[in-house]
Amino acid sequence: MDTHTHSDPAGCAARASGWSRLLRGALLLCAALLFALAFSISVDVAYRWFAGRSIVGVYEYSEVLLVALSFLAFAGVQGSGRQLNVDILTSIVRGRRKRGALSALDALAALVFFLVLAWTAGLDFGEAYELGLMGNGIVQIPMVLPLGLVVLGSLMMLITLAGQLRGALACLFGRDGRAPEAPAPRMDDGAGS
Amino acid sequence: MMQALPSLLIASLVLFPLMAAGVQVGVVLALAGMAGSAYLVGGWQGAVALPLIQSLDVTGSYTLMVIPLFIAMGSIAERSGITTDLFLAFYRWFGHIRGGIGVATIMTCAGMSSITGSSLAVSASMSKIALPELRRYRYDDRLSLGSIAVGGTLAIMIPPSITLVLYAIFASQSVGQMLIAGILPGVLLTALYLLKIVVRCHLTPRLGPGGPRHSLAERMESLWKVVPFFSIVTVIILGMLLGVWTPTEAAATGLVLVMLLGLMRRKLTLRLALDAALEAVIVSASIMLVVIGSLIFSNFVAMTGVSTKLADFIISLQLSPFSLFSLFVLVYLVLGMFLEATSILALTVPLALPIAVATGWDPVWFGVILVCLMEVAAITPPVGLNLFVMKASIPGVTLHSIYMGAMPFCIVNVIVVFILYVFPDIALLLPTMMSR
């Protein structure tokens, strides 16, 4: 798949090494989950080949694994600047302030989306927890599991976006009223590069 | 429709400025869809529920697991040195004929495309593996660069193409059928690229002189190394074609088999496998966000009924199917200059597909046509991602020279699109067999 990516085009985000390490750890966990997904489905295929029936629960748990794999990775993707975007404007805009403004806009828009997502998922999580709601399928998985992953992933994303916004605003307004001379390091410390 | 027009205007006011400003595609599509839906239904309550509904639908979808699994499979195959072995095999078999190293380049690209859905990965690795050989035998630089650029785009068409999977999701088609539909057009494209190289090099021998001839023993030795690779590819595709397994199961089993192959060849380490999985996780998560946003946007477009109205309007123009088809080709070629494939499909499929269906075109065939045009999008400036990746991989080369090399091959793509128009069965034969 072709990705066209950028984040923090001004290079304004502040270094947050502790948070970066956590995001890196989340991405590594997702990588491990991906292997788990591949192995469980393969074993299921082999079992079906020999025994003529599927292993109960593989389908349902695989679906939860994909929720984890996606939502725990979103913040890492944001932190490493690998999200998909159209850079018609960002590629021609010069000057740290202008690029900082675009970065701030990017972060703000994503903040709105993930705030809505975290809020609605949080409400549903509370309801699912109280009522003990279960998912559909042969093996019923508690709904708090996928919903909890959505809430967790969205919160991680919100923290990452807040960091990006803070860096972009600092870049945009510059404490001494001038644009910083040299680009500040990105939050990314090499995850997935 | 009275409410639809202002809601479309609101969605457009969110969509175009934010997208142009570089806000991530998934978020822009979602916000535009939410804003439009909120106006349409007269309140925010339904609109704010959309992100969660679509997030759970998309990320909890068994079908969508093919995306990270196929990306990981390709990544691990590449890191296991399969690209080098493939190139060596084709080089030994065809390197001695005029244009033979170009032929080996395209065939290696096609081979790699059959196991990785990423055209960027193919272009990047072939820039490092094939280009030094092409230059060593004094191949014309434009022909060499063009072969690699366009060869990389074969991954957009040949299964397991992630672009075909995304079209299937956006168009609500079977992922398995879409993947299978890409096989014959992919083979046709490969054959025409090869033909173009061979004919050009025979007409102008200095463009691609023949290399050294290798003994039969050397050829067989190189072939032996790639037999397991082709066995895995064959098992994956045949399994899907015969309905033995779903695309997700094929992807998972393929990933495990490629890992086992890498371990047996002692080329895959834990570190390399983890790197490949990390890459797959990052790429697929970025795609998932686009899919979530796209489905929110599609939902809004469906609510407005604008696609049906647009289809009715276009039909009322009484354009001949060929004129309409040519118009589609032109629009997508222009869009491809400014947007990359995922964004184009996410943005346009909800509008274009109803028109295609109303014209009587098969959605699977239409998807193959769009994906073929997306191959051109990957190598047309100013936003041709494969060009950028190649430039980054080859020191000293200019974007202009890569583009000038790739341009003549783009014409082949357009020819293939029109061949598919005349002979739609090239795309539909295998999916039809599969559904029987």
Nearest Cβ partner for A146 among B60, B253, B342: B60
Distance between CA atoms of residues B317 and B320, nearest Å: 9
Q: Which of B67, B245, B341 is opposite residue A2, by nearest beta carbon?
A: B341
Looking at per-residue pLDDT, the higher value among A9 and B347 belongs to B347
Write the Ramachandran bin of B396: left for phi over 0, alpha for psi from -120 to 50, otherwise beta: left
Q: Which of A138-152, B298-312, B380-394 ranks highest by mean pLDDT?
A: A138-152
Two tokens at B260?
């086992």
- Does any CB of chain B come closer than 8 Å to the CB of residue A102? yes
pLDDT bin (cut points 50, 70, 90) of residue A122 is very high
pLDDT band at residue B30, thresholds of 50, 70 and 90? very high
Chain B hits for A81, CB-CB cut-off 8 Å, are none
Q: In the predicted model, what is the mean pLDDT of residues B336-344?
A: 82
Q: Are B25 and A85 a contacting pair at CB < 8 A?
A: yes
Provide the b/e sequence for B13-27 (b: ≥16 CB within 10 Å).
Answer: ebbeebbbbbbbbbb
Angstrom distance (rounded) from CA B64 to CA B293: 15
Yes or no, beta carbons of B245 and A191 under 8 Å apart: no
Judged by a CB distance cut-off of 8 A, whether residue A3 touches chain B is: yes
Is pLDDT of B71 > 80?
A: yes
CA distance B37 to chain A (A): 15
* A25 Cβ under 8 Å from any chain B Cβ: no
Contact residues on chain A for B52, CB-CB shorter than 8 A: 117, 120-121, 124, 150
Put simply, the answer to whether B285 touches A69 (Cβ < 8 Å) is yes
Q: Which of A104, A14, A114 is nearest to B22 (CA)?
A: A104
Helical H runs in B242-320? 247-264, 270-304, 306-316
The minimal CB distance from B288 to the residues A64, A70, A85 is found for: A70
Q: Looking at residues B268-279, what average pLDDT do you find?
A: 90
- Shortest distance, CA A150 to any CA of chain B (angstroms): 8
Average per-residue pLDDT for chain B: 89
pLDDT band at B253 (very low <50, low <70, confident <90, very high): very high
| Average pLDDT of chain A, as a whole number | 81
B89 confidence band (pLDDT: 50, 70, 90):
very high
Q: Which residues of B touch A85 (CB under 8 A)?
A: 22-25
Mutation choice for A interface testing from B55, B258, B338, B386 by most A CBs within 10 A? B55
Given a cut of 80, is residue B2 above it in pLDDT?
Answer: no
Binned at pLDDT 50, 70 and 90, residue B84 comes out as confident
Give the mean pLDDT of A45-66: 88
pLDDT at B81: 83
Lowest average pLDDT, out of A90-99, B65-74, B194-203, goes to A90-99
CB spacing of A37 vs B69 below 8 angstroms: yes
Tell me, yes or no, if A127 comes closer than 8 A to chain B by beta carbon. no
The Cα B19–Cα B30 span in angstroms is: 11
Give pLDDT tens digits for B200-246.
999 998 898 888 889 999 999 999 989 988 899 898 888 888 888 88
**Does residue A178 have a pLDDT over 70?**
no
Residue B10, token pair as written in the block: 């609101």
Instruction: State residue B415's pLDDT score.
Output: 95
Question: Residue A10 above 50 pLDDT?
Answer: no
Would you state the pLDDT for residue A144? 94
* Cβ <8 Å between B22 and A73: no
d(CA B167, CA B144): 31
Considering CB atoms only, which of B256, B282, B386 is closest to A77? B282
The residue of chain A nearest to residue B282, with distances taken between CA atoms, is: A77
User: Which residues lie closer than 8 Å to B246 by C-beta, 6 or more apart?
Assistant: B62, B63, B176, B240
Instruction: Give the orientation angle of helix B66-79 with respect to helix B162-170, to 10 degrees.
Output: 170
Q: Which amino acid is at B351?
A: L
Chain centre distance of CA B133? 26
Q: Kindly list the residues from chain B whose CB atom is less than 8 angstroms away from the CB atom of residue A118.
A: none
Residue ranges of A 82-101 with Cβ closer than 8 A to chain B: 82-91
Is the pLDDT assigned to residue A181 strictly greater than 70? no
B416's CB contacts (< 8 A; 6+ apart) are B185, B188, B189, B192, B372
- Which positions ≥6 away from B200 have C-beta within 8 Å? B99, B143, B207, B208
Average pLDDT over residues B13-32: 90
Q: How far is A88 from chain B (nearest CA, A)?
A: 6
Question: What span, in angstroms and rounded, lies between the C-alpha atoms of B58 and B53?
Answer: 9
Query: Of B29, B70, B58, B64, whose CA–CA distance to B344 is shortest?
Result: B29
Element (H, E) at B203: helix B183-203
Digit-coded pLDDT (tens) for B107-141: 999 998 888 877 887 888 888 888 888 888 888 98
pLDDT score of A72: 95
B283–A1 CB contact, under 8 Å: yes
Return the percentage of chain B with pLDDT > 90, whole number: 44
d(CA B76, CA B360): 41
Specify the length of chain B in residues. Answer: 436
* Chain A partners within 8 Å of B268 (Cβ): none
Contact B27 A113 (CB under 8 A): yes
Main-chain phi, psi angles of A144, to 5 degrees: -65, -25
- Tell me if B249 and A45 make a contact (CB, 8 A cut-off): yes
Q: Between A and B, how many residue pairs show a Cβ–Cβ distance under 8 A?
A: 224
Name chain A contacts of B279, Cβ cutoff 8 Å: 192
Residue B133's contacts (CB-CB under 8 Å, 6 or more residues apart) are B87, B91, B101, B211
Q: How far is B209 from chain A (nearest CA, A)?
A: 33
pLDDT of A175 > 70? The answer is: no
Q: How far apart are CA A151 and CA B96, in angstroms?
A: 60
The answer to whether residues A71 and A149 touch, using CB atoms and an 8 Å cutoff, is yes
* Structure-model confidence comparison of residues A60 and A87, the more confident one: A60
* pLDDT above 50: residue A139: yes
How long, in residues, is chain A?
A: 193
Q: What SS3 state is found at A64?
A: helix
Does A136 touch chain B if contact means CB atoms closer than 8 Å? no
| A120 and B CB contact within 8 Å | yes
Q: Give A7→chain B minimum CA distance, Å.
A: 9
Give residue-wise pLDDT tens across range B175-203.
Answer: 999 999 999 999 999 999 999 999 999 99
A9 has pLDDT over 90: no
Average pLDDT on B373-392 reads 81
Among B129, B76, B110, B23, CA closest to B276: B76
Peptide bond into B395 cis (omega under 30): no
Instruction: Please tell me the predicted confidence (pLDDT) of residue A186.
Output: 35
Q: What tokens appear for B38 in the block? A: 């909120």
For the stretch A126-137, pLDDT in tens is 999 999 888 877
Query: How near does any CA of chain B get to the CA of A49, in Å?
Result: 9
What pLDDT, on a 0 to 100 scale, did the predictor assign at position A126? 95
| The pLDDT value given to residue A96 | 82
Q: What is the pLDDT of residue B335?
A: 87
Q: Which of B27, B36, B72 is nearest to B54 (CA)?
A: B27
Q: Cβ(B276)–Cβ(A67) under 8 Å?
A: no
Contacts of A64 in chain B (CB under 8 A): 60
- Please state the rounded mean pLDDT for residues B377-401: 79
